[in-house]
Every structure is written in C-alpha cells, then in structure tokens.
A and B are shown apart, each in its own frame.
Chain A
C-alpha cells in the first residue's frame, strides 16, 4: 500500500509527540515536573480560589445554616414535588463520581493504557463528587440535626433504621462507595506521596511523611501495594454498579408514574458514566491548560480515548432512554402517558428537548471525527454539553415527574428556591477542593506513567512501525 503521508515524517518523533507512553523522560525529571506543577501557582489561581471561598461561604455555608434554622420552606419543594434540586444534585454528583471509578478500576482491569496519567485526577473527582453528593442528600433532610437516626447504631430504644427503605440502602451503598474509593484513591497515591516526601522540605515534608506511611519502594512493599490495588480494582467495580443502581431504586421502588420502571438500574449507571466522562474531560482540559507541565502528561490522545468512550456511552444512554420511554409508552398506563406528554409538551418541554440535544445530538455530531475528538476544547465543550444535558435529565426525572401523579387535584410546578445557591455552593466547593488537592498532592501518578512507558516500545516490521506493549501483570 502507498505510504501514508504521516509516515513520511520522522516516524519516531511523530509517535513520541502523539503518545505519552512512547515519550519517556527520565523518571526524576517527570517527578520534578509533577512537583513543580504542585508548587507553582499564579495570581490567577489565588484569585479564583478566593472567589470560590466567598461563593462557598455565602452559597453553601450561610444558605445552609439559614435553611436549617428556617426550614425547607425557603427551598422550592412542595406537594407533590417533595423532592427537587437537592436530589437532582445528589444523583448528579454520584453520577460524576462514577467516572473516576470507571477510569481507575475498569480501565485498569481492561488494561487500557491510555488511562495512566489521569487516573488520579479522575479518582479525585470521585471522592470530591461524593462529598458534594453527601452534602446534597443531607441538605434535603427536614430535620438534618437528627441525620444519625438513619444510621444503624445500638440505642436504648432498640430502634434501627428501616432496611426496607431504598434510602437505607442508599446510605450503606454510598458510604461503602465513599470509603472504598477513598482508599482506592489513596493506595496508588502512596508511592507518589513518598516521592513528594523525599523532595520536600518544611511543613510539606511533615505532611507527606505522615501520609506516605513510610513507603520506601522496596520490592516487598510494591508487591503488597500491587496486590492491594488489584483486589480493590476488582472489588470496586461491583460497588460502582451497585451504588447507582441503588440510587436509581430510590425512584424505581416508588409508586409514582414515570418512576416505577425496572430499567432505572442500568439506565442510571449508564447515565452516570455519561456525565462522569464528560466531567473528566472538562477537568482534564482545565488542568492541562492551567497547570505547569501538564501538557506533557495529558495529551490529545487522551481526549481522543475518552472521547471514544463518551461516544459509545452516549449511544448506550440513548438506547436506555429510548427503552425507558418506549416501555412506558406502549404500557398504556393513563398517568404515565400524561407524564410523558407533560415532559415533551408541558411548560418545561424545552428542557426535555435540550436534554436530548445535549446528550445525544451534540456528542454524535462531534465525536465521530477523530481530529475533533483529539482537540481538548472540543471534547470539553461536548463534556459540558453532556453534563448540562444529564443535569436536565435528572431534573426531568425528579421534580418535573413529581408534578404529575394520580391525583390531578394536587399537580403543581416546582420552582427551585435556595436550592440554586446551595447547588452553586456545592459546585464551588468541588472546584475548591480540587484546586486545593492540586496544590497538596501530585495530580499525576508518575510511577504509573513510568511503568507504562517502560513496557511500550516502537518496533519496526519492515516499513511498518508498530507499538508493542509487553505484558506487565
């Protein structure tokens, strides 16, 4: 076959530029780059940080205290929409957190090498996203100061939580997920913390020394670490599936028209991955463009890889949405039909169409093209569109669907109140936590990158240059 133009260039240089795994740098240098990225901050960073602190103080802290003192009346929930944006945000943040687990666990298990530089960035999203989800679910409690009654603890009155309730399952599932993903974040972080310890002075050294748990990098320690990570990788996959299934059962176990649908389990998981992947590319694009040295670690190839995943997941989501819709439609239940019609043609019909455009049309239009996929800001835009679309999807499922029920005398639109500043506050806190983390821990797992670079090599077979990967595990 005729030689492709691309191959006319210095093929090795081309490959080195395109693929991180084929572009090794001395390990010490990569570590130094990661440390520099942590230490280097600009006035822009601190300005944004300060603004976010103010937003968190007002939108989250002040508004929440006000709501606790005055009651949920300042939110927009009512009869029949007893649940509103708080639950939307909860599901949204849990959904985002799924991406981290998917990338660091599933991609690891499936040996998708392109995941290596950004697993930690994704895992941080999981942990911080779950924090926001936790806040959001606590916010919606009427008597939040008694939240501990939902936890199983022995007490004098011999009262336990009701395990029939999907909310109790939620509690267990999310707690499990938070704990396990935090540990799963921490495990691969240990070598990097040790690296940072060895390269730091002052308070940072103390900080890293405590967290690194004395890791010296001996063969025995690495073996234990790898075993632990492997176990966790396999163990956390079912947790990922179960968490969002259980969250979906908050709705699917209810009697409401539009909620009582068996497809919710996988539908929500796919939806979570959909919005999570979109959030990952958004974070990566921002990290890449704002942090020093990140352009080396995070390359267009990664956006290309995630972009392919986003496209596939978008198709899966479209299937599940279609499934949910068509089953409800041919089921023929009068109230469900009313609800479906209300979704499309009611006053919030624009949101329904926007959801479909953002979740399906935009990804399908843009992510087919390999060149576009590789552009960070294109995938960023698609990721943003997907996140908006998925937020709309949950808004439609929760407050808009709750408007319609079997007692038409009670139907009433939902208008969010203090949920908006509180939601903005959680978003600001998420970014704030992320920015803090970027200053405190190395965002790139250099040892994993190095590990990958060691096993990738270019081999020439005649005129073809091929990337070969030797098996690590």
Chain B
C-alpha cells in the first residue's frame, strides 16, 4: 500500500475505533500509576493486555468493513476482497499493537514484573493471539450476518463466555480457550492452544474473504 492510500485509510477510519483504544489505554495507565501495590499493577497489566486489547480489536473489526459509507463505490473499484480486508483489518491490528506496546512501555517504567506472562515474545503472544482470534470471529460474523452488529455481538459474547467459564474451558476446551496465556499456562498445551487459535483465525479470515466476494449481500 502506498503512503497516500494509507493516509486515506486512516482519514476514513471510524474515529471511535481510534478513540476507544486510546481512552482505555489512558484509563489503565492512569489506574496503574495510582495503584502502587505490585500485585494490583500486575493484574491491571494482565487485564489490559489479555482481555481489553483483544475485546477492543474484535469490536473494531466487526465494524471495519461494512460500516463504510462509500461501500458501494468501493465495490465498484477493482480492489480485491483480500486488499479490502488487509487494509481495514491491518489498521485495527496496528492500533491494537501500538496500544499494547505503549502500555508495556508504561508498565516497565513502573517496574511491574510481567515475567509470569512469558518472555518478550511470549508476552506479545498473550495479547496478540486472542486479539487476532476475536478480530477473525468478529469479521467473519459481521460478513456472514451481513451486519456489523452480528460480528460485534459474537466477539463480545465469546469474550464474556470464555471469561466467565474460565475453569470449564481450562479443563474441557483448553485448545480454544482465548485467555490460556493470560492465566500463566505454559508448555505444550499453551503452544498447542496458540497453534489452534492461529489456525482457526486464519480459517475464519479465509471465510470472511470468501464472503466478501458476494458483494451484493452487503448493499
């Protein structure tokens, strides 16, 4: 993508998809600064990286493609389904990545020890894997239902169900448990969990790509 295209993708991006992540980042930074107990700071960091970043990414992704005022004009251009998905979702993933990395910098400055979540790469996978999964679920859901709200609901519901049924998923559905890395699991199970989530995410994104070829469903 050239620089001009990136500029316009940014300018035509829904503003709330930018302000929401910034607002939540600011809120968690603010609370972390004022909560001086290391355990509370660690839990805040875990909650933000492991739960908030994926949820915000998923909700934003649900609205990324279909909430485009010029969608019919876009469909009349030679832009491929893959390019449309790539530009719209790439930006969301970019915003979530910057939010997560920015927050990590802040918590390191506050001397919060994040090593229980893994090493440098492991820490990034704690938020990246569920974020990618929820982005994929939300995108596929909104395109399958031909409504952004369907994708947002699916992502939100999945997030909530997995969080509230944490124990059940740890026992019975560990490979599709979005937050396995957040709760400090390690070893082969965690590796397998990440591989499964990655494969499912890719499959859902391929499904979204196939659905986006049926442009008439979205007009």
Indicate whether A and B interact.
no
